[in-house]
Structure 1
C-alpha cells in the first residue's frame, strides 16, 4: 500500500529530525539499509567445519572414560559447534568481506570514469 503525500512528508521530517538530533544513529541506520546483506560462502564453509569438529569433540567426550576429560571435551565441542553456527549465519555486505576493501574503491573509480565518459559523450551529442 502506497503512502499518501502527507505520510511521506511526515517520514521525511522525522528522518531529517533524526539526522539533526543523533547523526551517528542516522548514519548507522543508513548504512544498514543501503547495502544488501548476504550469507558468505566462506563463512558458511568455516561454520560447517567448526560444527563438524565440535560434534566430533562431543562424541569423543562420550567415548572417553575419564569424567573430567569427558566433560571438558563435551563443553569445548559444544562451544565450537555454537561458534560454527553463529559464523555460518553471519551476514556480510554484498560488496565483499574482510580483505576486499580495496576492490570496491577500484570499482567505484572505474564506474566514475565510465560515468564521466558517458557524460562527455552525451554533452558532445547534444
Structure 2
C-alpha cells in the first residue's frame, strides 16, 4: 500500500529530526544493512568442505605411520581445517555485489520505496 503525501512528509520530518539530533546514529542506521550481513551459504558450505577435507588429511597422516610424512600431512590437514573455519566465520568483502546492473552503490530503504512509489504512480497514469 502506498503512503499518502502526509505520511511521506512525516517520514521526511522524522529523518531530518534524527539527522539533527543524533547524526552518528542516523549514519549507523543508514549503513546497518551492510554491517549486519550474515555470512553467505556458499562461504559456509565451502568452509565446511575445507574443514572436512582437512580433518580427512589429518586422519590419513596418522594412518600413514611414516614419521616425516605423518607430521607433514598432519600440519597440512590442520592448516586446511583452520582455513575452512576462517572462511565460514568471515563475511567476505564489505561491499555488496552489483546485482542486476543497479549500480555500484546500494540504495537506502527510503530511496527504494520512493522509486517504487514513482513507478506505481507512473504506471497508473
Question: Do structure 1's residue 118 and structure 2's residue 116 form an aligned pair?
Answer: no
Residue 51 of structure 1, CA deviation: 0.5
Structure 2: unaligned runs, 5 residues or longer: 1-19
Residue 42 of structure 1, CA deviation: 0.6
Cα distance in structure 1, aligned partners of 2:122 and 2:86 = 49
Residues 37 and 104 (structure 1 numbering): CA distance in 2 closer, same or farther, change over 3 Å? Answer: farther
* Alignment-derived partner of residue 88 in structure 2: 88
Structure 1: unaligned runs, 5 residues or longer: 1-7, 16-25
* Alignment-derived partner of residue 77 in structure 1: 77
Mapping of 1:1-126 within 5 angstroms? 9=21, 11-12=22-23, 15=24, 33-35=32-34, 36-91=36-91, 100-103=97-100, 105=102, 114-120=116-122
Query: TM-score, structure 1 length as denominator?
Result: 0.56
Which structure shows the bigger proportion of residues in strand conformation? Answer: 1
Cα distance in structure 2, aligned partners of 1:31 and 1:76 = 43
What is the aligned-residue RMSD (CA, Å)? 3.8
Which structure 1 residue ranges, 4+ long, deviate > 6 Å from structure 2? none
What secondary structure does 2:65 align onto?
coil
